[in-house]
Amino acid sequence: MNVNVDNKTIVVMGVANKRSIAWGIATALYQAGARLIFTYAGERMEKGVRELVDGLEGGKDTYVIPCDVTSDTEIEKCFADIREKYGKIDGIAHCIAFANKEELKGEYLNTNREGFLLAQNISAYSLTAVAKAARDMMNEGGSIVTLTYLGGERVVQNYNVMGVAKASLEASVKYLANDLGPSGIRVNSISAGAIRTLSAKGVGDFNAIRKVFEERAPLRRQVTQEEVGDTALFLFSPLSRGITGENIHVDSGFHILS
Ligand code: N5H
């Protein structure tokens, strides 16, 4: 069986720039024949996303729309718009997270209620909100993929409130997989290694983490957006049809180490 996503319509949420893992996923899917719909968070992001999408070669139909995941009304509007234009969809790549920068360093103990809820809202609950809005417009065989990080399973210095949000996201993947499985919809996450994206910018000691990663990971190298993209392609394709509720680590094997 080929990795085939021809004729599949997939919503990619969370492209910020060309370094985004979401963009690695989008390009892998696009090259494998998918029709893509992009959602962005706010006006600040729109221009960059449109430029990237316009640069995709191959002339396939694309669609770019806003979706602020903190608003149920906006999520509903976004998916109603997609439904009107495309009818049913086959997949969602949820690549969205946010936490206050000040809470991504020092002690987790310093997290305040507002920051905790903000991280949970955008980085974890948004997956459930989106799955809820899209449920009735997903074809059987549909696939939802979200992005997580090892800091959701273990303590990784500085990841703090985001680690707690990722733990919640990973548990949500399992509960959603159980809810949507009877409709033939699968829900999985990819736990990516330390990739330099916009979200890594200016928070914690990213370079030190990268160095340890390169020295200790079984493959002794970083992973790339393209590698995460290829795993996502697998998760959106029928090749992964027996997999749901799973978290696949695309991290050069780093997660097996003590
Ligand atoms: C242990 C580490 C290093 C510490 C990095 C933490 C990264 C957390 C992810 C969140 C999403 C970062 C975040 O929200 C930063 C914002 O406060 C400030 N940034 C922004 O506002 C930018 C402009 C926008 C686009 O950001 C968002 N999110 O919209 C983890 C690393 C080794 C691995 C890593 C980088 C993981 C990850 O989750 O991204």
Candidate of 45, 69, 203 to mutate for ligand 1, largest count of ligand atoms within 8 Å of Cβ? 203
149 is catalytic: yes
pLDDT at 54: 95
Q: What is the CATH number of the domain that holds 129?
A: 3.40.50.720
The 10s digit of each residue's pLDDT in 56-82 is 998 789 999 999 999 999 999 999 999
How is the beta sheet containing 138-148 ordered, strand by strand? Answer: 62-66, 35-40, 9-13, 89-94, 138-148, 186-192, 247-250
Q: In sequence order, what are the residues at sequence separation of 6 or more whose Cβ sits closer than 8 angstroms to the Cβ of residue 247?
A: 148, 170, 173, 188, 189, 190, 191
**Closest ligand 1 atom number to CA of residue 105:** 4
Position 238, amino acid: P
Is pLDDT of 204 > 80? no
Q: Which residues contact 199 (CB under 8 A, 6 or more apart)?
A: 16, 97
Q: Does the residue 199 lie in any domain?
A: yes
Tell me, yes or no, if 30 is annotated catalytic.
no
User: Quick check: is 3 in a domain?
Assistant: no
Ligand 1 pocket test: pick from 43, 47, 98, 103 the residue with the most ligand atoms within 8 Å of its Cβ. Answer: 98
Does residue 34 fall inside a structural domain?
Answer: yes
The verdict on the CB of residue 99 being under 6 Å from ligand 1 is yes
CA of 91 to the centre of ligand 1 (A): 24
Distance 242 CA to ligand 1 centre (A): 32
48 domain residue, yes or no: yes
What is the reported pLDDT for 60? 86
* Domain-embedded: residue 2: no
Q: 148 in a domain, yes or no? A: yes
By CB atoms closer than 10 A (0-12, 13-18, 19+), residue 46 is: middle
Share of the chain above pLDDT 70, in %: 99
Ligand 1 contact via 204 beta carbon (within 6 Å): yes
- Please state the rounded mean pLDDT for residues 148-177: 98
Mean pLDDT of the region 200-210: 87
pLDDT attached to residue 85: 97
- Report the alpha-carbon distance of residue 187 to residue 178 in Å, rounded: 9
* pLDDT band of 125, cuts 50, 70, 90: very high
Residue 178's domain comprises: 9-256
**What per-residue confidence (pLDDT) applies to 59?**
78
Which residue minimizes the CA distance to atom 31 of ligand 1?
194
What are 193's two structure tokens? 């290694």
Mutation test residue for ligand 1: of 199, 207, 213, 228, the one with most atoms within 8 Å of CB: 199
Q: What's the domain count of the chain?
A: 1
Q: Is the CB of 108 under 6 A from ligand 1?
A: no
Residue 121 one-letter amino acid? N
- Give the model confidence (pLDDT) of 84-101 as tens digits: 999 999 999 999 999 999
Cα–Cα distance, 14 to 130 (Å, whole number): 13
List pLDDT tens digits, range 175-200: 999 999 999 999 999 999 999 999 98
226-237, pLDDT tens digit by residue? 999 999 999 999
194 located within any domain: yes
pLDDT digit string, tens, across residues 126-141: 999 999 999 999 999 9
Give the span between the Cα atoms of 201 and 157, in whole angstroms: 16
Model pTM above 0.95:
yes
- How far is Cα 55 from Cα 136, in angstroms, rounded to an integer? 32
The predicted pLDDT at position 198 comes to 94
Of the listed 63, 125, 159, 175, which one is catalytic?
159
Within a domain: residue 1? no
pLDDT for 2 beyond 70: no
Residue nearest atom 35 of ligand 1, based on CA coordinates: 200
**Which residue out of 30, 40, 149, 175 is catalytically annotated?**
149
Confidence of residue 150 (pLDDT cuts 50, 70, 90): very high
